[in-house]
Amino acid sequence: MKKLYYLLILCLAVVVMAFSVLPSSTSLKYNLEKGSPAIESMSKLSFGPDGILFIGDTRSASIFALNTDDTRSNIQSDDVTAKDISKLFAESLGTTPEDIVIQDMVVNPISKALYFAVHLADGTPLLLKMVKGKVSKVGLDNVEFSKIGISDAPAEDATDRRGRPIRVHAISDMEYANGKVMVSGLSNKEFSSTFRSISFPFNKEAASTSLEIFHANHGRYETYAPIKSFTTATIGGRSYLVASYTCTPLVLFPLDELKAGQHVVKGRTVAELGNRNTPLDIISMKMNNKTSLLFANSSRPMMRVNIDDLNRYDGSLTEKVEGTAGVDFKVFDQKDVQQLDAFGSDKVVLLQKGEDGALALRTEAASKWQ
């Protein structure tokens, strides 16, 4: 009897082990492999379908798709807050706040868990997850993932006219929509400002298009500065890439023109939001039944542009601008906001630098920016 009992236990263990090595349904659906992705840096994060997290790695010039297996709905719906997020991370990792550099923050739209791309002072990349105020490190060993390289990225030793490295701008922003991973950044081409559209599941090389804009503050057409932050929006019944650049032109590109085979696509500059500024983040939110774009900036307060105003504005800036011009936008009091993301349908989670230099994390009602 005892032998039979142990035999049953052994058989059960074999069955459990067999199922543990089988690929998940998510892995099969998106053609993922199991292993340890060699992620060298984490520049940008974006969530896709079914808990898939896309990680932009500028050092290896690659995009990784990671199965987070984080698909339980609304495990976190309460407001989140932290007075000093770098200190909180440092305590969880056994290091100091000075050793923490936050590269990006995104919210999993399914679970509402927050994910952070973090670099340590020595450049080591880490992926952290925050649920109900508790921080954990996301393991990257024996996980389900896939990867695609960016073949036309700037060389590792490439520099700009001032001698500054430009590989770090190979991936300047990233967003998933409608089966595509959209990536802005620089390429090794003559017209280096580039938009890439990558089908997911990854199955072929990214389709890339060079971009040209009229930079109103500079008073000239440019093809070398990368988009710093972007989102997508439907304007006048057509889908657009809404792109913001340093110093700070707002430009529209029809998405149906950003496809393989197009040498250079010229955008329509619809606003100049002010010079000596870098747009850090853009999100789209529905407020009072109207869709608006919220902007976080490096040296200017938060701004809002209504889609209705973009629908009505048919102009284009083609001459040098001093100050601001173009489509209407509203400026708010919130300064030094570093990161934004939607937290459900009616809230925004943001990272904001305080007067003491600490990064505070909190949620706010989207109605605050109506």
The residue type of 140 is: L
Q: Are 196 and 252 in contact (CB under 8 A)?
A: no
CA torsion sign for 288, 290, 294, 300 is: negative
Task: Kindly report, residue by residue over 55-92, the tens digit of the pLDDT.
Answer: 999 999 999 999 999 998 875 567 889 999 999 999 99
pLDDT value of residue 23: 77
Q: Are 73 and 108 in contact (CB under 8 A)?
A: no
Please report, for residues 16, 24, 25, 145, 160, the alpha-carbon distance to residue 19 in angstroms, rounded to integers and kept in the order given: 5, 9, 12, 19, 52
Give the neighbor-by-neighbor strand order of the sheet with 52-57: 33-35, 143-149, 62-67, 52-57, 44-47
Task: Encode the chain (370 residues) as per-residue pLDDT tens digits.
Answer: 555 555 545 445 444 444 445 678 999 999 999 999 999 999 999 999 999 999 999 999 999 999 999 998 875 567 889 999 999 999 999 999 999 999 999 999 999 999 999 999 999 999 999 998 999 999 999 999 999 999 999 999 999 889 999 999 999 999 999 999 999 999 999 899 999 999 999 987 788 999 999 999 999 999 999 999 999 999 999 999 999 999 999 999 999 999 866 679 999 999 999 999 999 999 999 888 899 999 999 999 999 999 999 999 999 999 999 999 999 999 999 999 999 999 998 899 999 999 999 999 999 999 999 8
Instruction: Report the C-alpha gap between 81 and 114 in whole angstroms.
Output: 11
pTM: 0.92
Which residues contact residue 69 at a Cβ distance below 8 angstroms, ignoring those fewer than 6 apart?
Answer: 24, 26, 51, 144
pLDDT value of residue 14: 43
Instruction: Report the C-alpha gap between 236 and 244 in whole angstroms.
Output: 20
- The one-character DSSP state at 262 is -
pLDDT value of residue 161: 86
Domains in the chain: boundaries: 41-149
pLDDT value of residue 96: 96
Instruction: Report the C-alpha gap between 99 and 103 in whole angstroms.
Output: 13
pLDDT value of residue 77: 64
pLDDT value of residue 3: 56
pLDDT value of residue 232: 96
Task: Kindly report, residue by residue over 108-151, the tens digit of the pLDDT.
Answer: 999 999 999 999 999 999 999 999 899 999 999 999 999 999 99
Instruction: Report the C-alpha gap between 253 and 267 in whole angstroms.
Output: 5
Q: Which long-range contacts (CB under 8 A, 24 or more apart) does 134-137 make?
A: 135/88, 135/89, 135/92, 136/92, 137/92, 137/93
